[in-house]
Amino acid sequence: MVIELALLGISVGALSGFFGIGGGTVSVPILLYLGFGIKEAIGISVMQMVAGSLLAAWIHHKKQTYVVHDIKYFGYGGIVGAIIGGFLVKLLQATVLEWLFLSIVAFTLGRLALSSPVPSRAEVVNRPLYSLIGGFIGIFSGMLGVGGSILMTPILVSFMGFPLKKASAVGLFFVMFTSVSAFITLLWLGMMNLQAGMIMALSSLIGIALGIWLLHRVHATHYKQVLVLFYILIFAITAYKLIAG
Protein backbone atom coordinates (compact mmCIF):
# COMPACT_ATOMS: atom_id res chain seq x y z
CA MET A 1 0.00 0.00 0.00
CA VAL A 2 2.97 2.32 0.59
CA ILE A 3 4.02 2.11 -3.06
CA GLU A 4 0.47 2.75 -4.29
CA LEU A 5 0.09 5.79 -2.03
CA ALA A 6 3.47 7.16 -3.07
CA LEU A 7 2.70 6.80 -6.78
CA LEU A 8 -0.72 8.37 -6.28
CA GLY A 9 0.86 11.25 -4.37
CA ILE A 10 3.37 11.93 -7.14
CA SER A 11 0.67 11.78 -9.83
CA VAL A 12 -1.81 14.00 -8.00
CA GLY A 13 0.97 16.40 -7.06
CA ALA A 14 1.99 16.75 -10.70
CA LEU A 15 -1.61 17.48 -11.72
CA SER A 16 -1.92 20.02 -8.89
CA GLY A 17 1.26 21.84 -9.79
CA PHE A 18 0.47 21.94 -13.51
CA PHE A 19 -3.25 22.68 -13.46
CA GLY A 20 -3.42 24.65 -10.20
CA ILE A 21 -5.95 22.36 -8.53
CA GLY A 22 -6.16 20.86 -5.07
CA GLY A 23 -6.33 17.31 -6.39
CA GLY A 24 -9.14 15.92 -4.27
CA THR A 25 -11.36 15.29 -7.28
CA VAL A 26 -8.73 12.85 -8.55
CA SER A 27 -7.33 11.36 -5.36
CA VAL A 28 -10.51 10.61 -3.38
CA PRO A 29 -12.04 8.16 -5.93
CA ILE A 30 -8.71 6.35 -6.30
CA LEU A 31 -8.27 6.10 -2.53
CA LEU A 32 -11.74 4.57 -2.30
CA TYR A 33 -10.70 2.05 -4.94
CA LEU A 34 -7.62 1.21 -2.84
CA GLY A 35 -9.89 0.27 0.05
CA PHE A 36 -10.03 3.38 2.22
CA GLY A 37 -13.33 4.59 3.64
CA ILE A 38 -14.74 7.87 2.40
CA LYS A 39 -13.80 9.75 5.57
CA GLU A 40 -10.26 8.38 5.50
CA ALA A 41 -9.97 9.18 1.80
CA ILE A 42 -11.04 12.78 2.33
CA GLY A 43 -8.61 13.19 5.22
CA ILE A 44 -5.68 11.75 3.26
CA SER A 45 -6.53 13.96 0.29
CA VAL A 46 -6.72 17.06 2.47
CA MET A 47 -3.34 16.28 4.03
CA GLN A 48 -1.83 15.99 0.54
CA MET A 49 -3.41 19.30 -0.48
CA VAL A 50 -1.91 21.06 2.54
CA ALA A 51 1.61 19.84 1.77
CA GLY A 52 1.31 20.40 -1.96
CA SER A 53 -0.18 23.86 -1.78
CA LEU A 54 2.40 25.03 0.76
CA LEU A 55 5.29 23.87 -1.42
CA ALA A 56 3.63 25.33 -4.52
CA ALA A 57 3.21 28.69 -2.79
CA TRP A 58 6.91 28.71 -1.87
CA ILE A 59 8.05 27.74 -5.39
CA HIS A 60 5.82 30.32 -7.09
CA HIS A 61 7.01 32.94 -4.62
CA LYS A 62 10.63 32.15 -5.48
CA LYS A 63 9.82 32.27 -9.20
CA GLN A 64 7.92 35.54 -8.63
CA THR A 65 4.83 34.15 -10.35
CA TYR A 66 2.73 36.41 -8.15
CA VAL A 67 3.08 38.83 -5.24
CA VAL A 68 1.79 37.23 -2.03
CA HIS A 69 1.37 40.70 -0.50
CA ASP A 70 -1.66 41.23 -2.75
CA ILE A 71 -3.14 37.82 -3.52
CA LYS A 72 -3.32 36.74 0.12
CA TYR A 73 -6.59 38.70 0.23
CA PHE A 74 -8.17 36.00 -1.94
CA GLY A 75 -7.41 33.59 0.88
CA TYR A 76 -8.73 35.88 3.60
CA GLY A 77 -12.02 36.18 1.74
CA GLY A 78 -12.05 32.44 1.18
CA ILE A 79 -11.86 31.72 4.91
CA VAL A 80 -14.89 33.91 5.61
CA GLY A 81 -16.77 32.52 2.61
CA ALA A 82 -16.13 28.92 3.67
CA ILE A 83 -17.64 29.65 7.09
CA ILE A 84 -20.73 31.18 5.46
CA GLY A 85 -20.95 28.22 3.10
CA GLY A 86 -20.92 25.85 6.06
CA PHE A 87 -23.99 27.55 7.50
CA LEU A 88 -25.76 27.67 4.12
CA VAL A 89 -25.48 23.90 3.79
CA LYS A 90 -28.15 23.61 6.47
CA LEU A 91 -30.47 26.09 4.74
CA LEU A 92 -30.34 24.99 1.09
CA GLN A 93 -30.97 21.63 -0.52
CA ALA A 94 -27.87 19.84 -1.73
CA THR A 95 -29.27 19.45 -5.25
CA VAL A 96 -29.80 23.21 -5.54
CA LEU A 97 -26.22 23.87 -4.46
CA GLU A 98 -24.77 21.33 -6.90
CA TRP A 99 -26.69 22.61 -9.91
CA LEU A 100 -25.84 26.19 -9.02
CA PHE A 101 -22.18 25.25 -8.78
CA LEU A 102 -22.26 23.44 -12.14
CA SER A 103 -24.00 26.40 -13.78
CA ILE A 104 -21.31 28.81 -12.59
CA VAL A 105 -18.54 26.43 -13.64
CA ALA A 106 -20.10 26.06 -17.10
CA PHE A 107 -20.30 29.83 -17.48
CA THR A 108 -16.74 30.49 -16.33
CA LEU A 109 -15.37 27.65 -18.46
CA GLY A 110 -17.10 29.14 -21.48
CA ARG A 111 -15.44 32.46 -20.72
CA LEU A 112 -12.07 30.75 -20.27
CA ALA A 113 -12.37 28.89 -23.59
CA LEU A 114 -13.10 32.15 -25.42
CA SER A 115 -10.45 34.22 -23.65
CA SER A 116 -6.88 34.80 -24.79
CA PRO A 117 -4.09 33.11 -22.81
CA VAL A 118 -2.31 36.48 -22.97
CA PRO A 119 -4.51 39.17 -21.36
CA SER A 120 -5.69 42.01 -23.58
CA ARG A 121 -6.17 44.43 -20.70
CA ALA A 122 -4.32 45.48 -17.59
CA GLU A 123 -4.43 43.21 -14.57
CA VAL A 124 -6.86 44.44 -11.91
CA VAL A 125 -5.15 44.99 -8.55
CA ASN A 126 -7.81 45.60 -5.92
CA ARG A 127 -7.50 43.99 -2.51
CA PRO A 128 -11.14 44.52 -1.41
CA LEU A 129 -12.27 42.98 -4.70
CA TYR A 130 -9.85 40.09 -4.18
CA SER A 131 -11.47 39.46 -0.80
CA LEU A 132 -14.95 39.54 -2.34
CA ILE A 133 -13.96 37.06 -5.06
CA GLY A 134 -12.30 34.82 -2.50
CA GLY A 135 -15.38 35.01 -0.30
CA PHE A 136 -17.68 34.14 -3.20
CA ILE A 137 -15.62 31.10 -4.16
CA GLY A 138 -15.12 30.21 -0.50
CA ILE A 139 -18.88 29.92 -0.06
CA PHE A 140 -18.97 27.12 -2.62
CA SER A 141 -15.87 25.55 -1.05
CA GLY A 142 -17.67 25.44 2.28
CA MET A 143 -20.96 24.21 0.84
CA LEU A 144 -19.64 21.54 -1.50
CA GLY A 145 -16.25 20.60 -0.06
CA VAL A 146 -14.24 21.67 -3.12
CA GLY A 147 -10.97 23.56 -3.17
CA GLY A 148 -12.35 26.32 -5.37
CA SER A 149 -9.57 26.58 -7.95
CA ILE A 150 -11.85 25.36 -10.74
CA LEU A 151 -13.77 28.61 -10.25
CA MET A 152 -10.81 30.84 -9.38
CA THR A 153 -8.76 30.39 -12.57
CA PRO A 154 -11.52 31.19 -15.12
CA ILE A 155 -12.71 34.19 -13.10
CA LEU A 156 -9.24 35.72 -12.86
CA VAL A 157 -8.53 35.19 -16.56
CA SER A 158 -11.92 36.29 -17.88
CA PHE A 159 -12.72 39.23 -15.62
CA MET A 160 -9.55 40.34 -13.84
CA GLY A 161 -6.97 40.43 -16.63
CA PHE A 162 -4.69 37.79 -15.07
CA PRO A 163 -2.32 35.85 -17.34
CA LEU A 164 -3.50 32.23 -17.54
CA LYS A 165 -0.48 30.66 -15.84
CA LYS A 166 -0.55 33.19 -13.02
CA ALA A 167 -4.28 32.62 -12.50
CA SER A 168 -3.66 28.88 -12.28
CA ALA A 169 -0.94 29.42 -9.68
CA VAL A 170 -3.18 31.73 -7.64
CA GLY A 171 -5.89 29.06 -7.73
CA LEU A 172 -3.55 26.59 -6.03
CA PHE A 173 -2.52 29.31 -3.55
CA PHE A 174 -6.20 29.72 -2.67
CA VAL A 175 -6.45 25.97 -2.01
CA MET A 176 -3.83 26.39 0.72
CA PHE A 177 -6.26 28.36 2.88
CA THR A 178 -9.20 26.00 2.46
CA SER A 179 -7.13 22.83 2.87
CA VAL A 180 -5.36 24.01 6.03
CA SER A 181 -8.73 24.86 7.56
CA ALA A 182 -10.12 21.45 6.59
CA PHE A 183 -7.01 19.65 7.90
CA ILE A 184 -7.29 21.28 11.34
CA THR A 185 -10.98 20.43 11.53
CA LEU A 186 -10.56 16.80 10.48
CA LEU A 187 -7.58 16.32 12.79
CA TRP A 188 -9.57 17.71 15.71
CA LEU A 189 -12.47 15.37 14.88
CA GLY A 190 -10.10 12.37 14.78
CA MET A 191 -10.80 11.63 11.11
CA MET A 192 -7.22 11.75 9.86
CA ASN A 193 -5.15 8.69 8.89
CA LEU A 194 -1.82 10.35 9.59
CA GLN A 195 0.39 7.51 8.36
CA ALA A 196 -1.25 7.15 4.95
CA GLY A 197 -1.68 10.91 4.69
CA MET A 198 2.01 11.52 5.39
CA ILE A 199 3.10 9.03 2.71
CA MET A 200 0.91 10.64 0.10
CA ALA A 201 1.72 14.20 1.21
CA LEU A 202 5.50 13.73 1.10
CA SER A 203 5.45 11.93 -2.24
CA SER A 204 3.20 14.61 -3.72
CA LEU A 205 5.97 17.16 -3.17
CA ILE A 206 7.92 15.51 -5.97
CA GLY A 207 4.91 15.76 -8.26
CA ILE A 208 4.24 19.39 -7.32
CA ALA A 209 7.77 20.42 -8.24
CA LEU A 210 7.52 18.49 -11.51
CA GLY A 211 4.13 20.00 -12.38
CA ILE A 212 5.27 23.57 -11.73
CA TRP A 213 8.47 22.97 -13.70
CA LEU A 214 6.35 21.87 -16.66
CA LEU A 215 3.94 24.77 -16.20
CA HIS A 216 6.70 27.31 -16.68
CA ARG A 217 7.97 25.61 -19.83
CA VAL A 218 4.82 24.96 -21.84
CA HIS A 219 3.63 27.68 -24.23
CA ALA A 220 0.67 29.70 -22.95
CA THR A 221 -1.54 28.80 -25.92
CA HIS A 222 -0.90 25.08 -25.54
CA TYR A 223 -1.41 25.36 -21.79
CA LYS A 224 -4.82 26.92 -22.31
CA GLN A 225 -5.90 24.13 -24.63
CA VAL A 226 -4.86 21.41 -22.18
CA LEU A 227 -6.37 23.27 -19.22
CA VAL A 228 -9.74 23.74 -20.92
CA LEU A 229 -9.87 20.06 -21.87
CA PHE A 230 -8.99 19.04 -18.31
CA TYR A 231 -11.66 21.32 -16.83
CA ILE A 232 -14.26 20.00 -19.28
CA LEU A 233 -13.41 16.45 -18.19
CA ILE A 234 -13.79 17.34 -14.49
CA PHE A 235 -17.04 19.18 -15.22
CA ALA A 236 -18.42 16.22 -17.20
CA ILE A 237 -17.59 13.77 -14.43
CA THR A 238 -19.23 16.00 -11.82
CA ALA A 239 -22.32 16.52 -13.98
CA TYR A 240 -22.62 12.79 -14.61
CA LYS A 241 -22.49 12.04 -10.89
CA LEU A 242 -25.19 14.63 -10.27
CA ILE A 243 -27.49 13.44 -13.06
CA ALA A 244 -26.95 9.74 -12.34
CA GLY A 245 -27.63 10.40 -8.69
Q: Are 202 and 69 in contact (CB under 8 A)?
A: no
One-letter identity of residue 241: K
Report domain extents, the chain. Answer: 2-244
Give the pLDDT of residue 102: 75
186-189 CB contacts, 8 Å cutoff, 24+ apart: 186/42, 186/43, 186/46
**CA dihedral of residues 159, 147, 75, 11 (deg, nearest 10):** -100
Per-residue pLDDT of 62-89, as tens digits, reads 888 888 888 999 999 988 887 787 677 6
Give the pLDDT of residue 82: 78
E-assigned strand segments in 122-234: none
Element containing residue 208 per DSSP (H, E): helix 194-215
Question: Which portions of the chain are predicted below pLDDT 50?
Answer: none
With a CB cutoff of 8 Å and minimum separation 6, the contacts of 44 are 5, 27, 31, 36, 193, 196, 197, 200
- pTM more than 0.75: yes
Distance of CA 65 to the CA centre of its chain: 17
